[in-house]
Amino acid sequence: MRDTLNTLEDSARGGSGSRALFVTFGHFSHINAQLLEALETEFPQVTFETFNLGVAMRSNYAGLFNSLVNVPWEYGLGSFRSRSVLRYRLFRNRAYFRAAEKLLQQRFGDQGFDFSVQTQSMFSAALPGCPNFVYTDHVARARLADEDQEGTGYPSGQWLECEREIYEKAAHVFTFGPKIRNFLIEDYGMAPCKVSAIGAGASVRPSRSLDISQDRYARRNILFVGVEWDRKGGPELIEAFVELRQRLPDVTLTIVGCSPEVDVDGCEVVGRLPLSEIEDYFRRASCFCMPSRVEPFGIVFLEAMQFGLPVVSTTAGDIGAIVRDGETGRLVPPKDGAGLAQALYQVLEDAETCRQMGLAGLERGESFTWEAVVRRMMAHTPAGRDGVNVGEVIW
């Protein structure tokens, strides 16, 4: 382990000749671009070469064909019942994993990178003699514990073996939150010293000073921001909102990110927007609510805190590690519409209570920036222990 850390220290301090490979799979909800920007800022002497494996695999026709043929063997013929099921299983089976591994080895195996960083747990970017660092928000075994799988089912036993290989080959694994870290230790058998929960950063942050007056919170506008309406608990939110309006008739709801068919008084459906236009909706809101049924982590909760909003959500995934129940918001079990209505009432009934929760969230949100995340990564190198102030997350 110390040899690995020394290698990374040499990479970070080694001057203009230091090179690192940054491997991604798709856009990962804007995370990849923001993480890379922070890495380049914090490691200015390292040249990062980026590679989107998901894009490259689209033209790997032999690999895709082998993966498609392997899907029914690994998951069964039911894999072809819908596009969403097939897509999930096409990218999470042994044939695809080996094809992606072969592509990476052929393209970069002899390039002499000092270290590599990969996001997500859908492949292994480990190269010969090159320490690989994994940053992920979820693991497959956590999915086994989720009841709501949107019809895509569970990962296969073969895929679980492939995923375990990712972590075994990694020099260090960074998770967004503590729940996934615990899964890696307890279910995957990883040594605690090899796994760190370092948080994540907000994709949308205030560009100017915020209105934190009591008037803002007295307006009682609830904001929902999410693309997947059902998985993010949209139906439960509408149920709760209708009930809440009976107690607080002036409360309103704004839905951003998707366009569900909702015909409820006081509710505005905005639909999908570019990131640059979402800030105004955070500013207008008094409270944020996204009652997810399944949620690995939830970047949007960090964004809500950046804008001084109390958060009402569920205990799914690592939400409970982000939102402090009773301090920065309220949490209820998933799919509990009545409990959600009561939680929203507790937050919105008194404007000053709502404001104080928002201010507590604003303070907590200072720990969740991409710059802070990268500094925590650096803390696991000898360079990071030489006096770098990393600002650990207090879970």
Model confidence over 185-244: pLDDT tens digits? 999 999 999 999 999 999 889 999 999 999 999 999 999 999 999 999 999 999 999 999
Helices 94-108/157-169 angle, 10° precision: 30
| Average pLDDT of the segment spanning 284-290 | 97
Q: Which one, of 346, 227, 341, 229, lies nearest residue 293 by Cα?
A: 229
pTM value? 0.86
Q: What is the mean pLDDT of residues 124-139?
A: 93
Instruction: Calculate the average pLDDT of the chain.
Output: 89
pLDDT at 319: 94
How much is the pLDDT for 379? 72
Whole-angstrom Cα distance, residue 7 to residue 3? 6
How many CB atoms lie under 10 A from the CB of residue 367?
A: 19
Position 149 pLDDT exceeds 60: no
At 30, the pLDDT band (50, 70, 90 cuts) reads confident
**CB atoms inside a 10 Å sphere around CB 69:** 11
pLDDT reported for residue 377: 84
Instruction: Tell me: pLDDT of 378 over 90.
Output: no
Q: What per-residue confidence (pLDDT) applies to 250?
A: 97
- The tokens for 331 are 């949490």
What's the pLDDT at 395?
78
User: Domain 2-201+369-378 class?
Assistant: alpha beta
Comparing 54-68, 143-157, 307-321, 325-339, the range with the smallest average pLDDT is 143-157
- So where are the chain's domains? 2-201+369-378, 214-367
Range with the poorest average pLDDT among 226-230, 256-260, 364-368: 364-368
- Superfamily of domain 214-367 in the CATH hierarchy: Glycogen Phosphorylase B; (3.40.50.2000)
**Pseudo-torsion of CA 278, 271, 320, 206, nearest 10°?**
0
| Element spanning 168, H or E | helix 157-169
Report the distance separating Cα 161 and Cα 154, nearest Å.
14
2-201+369-378 and 214-367: identical CATH topology? yes
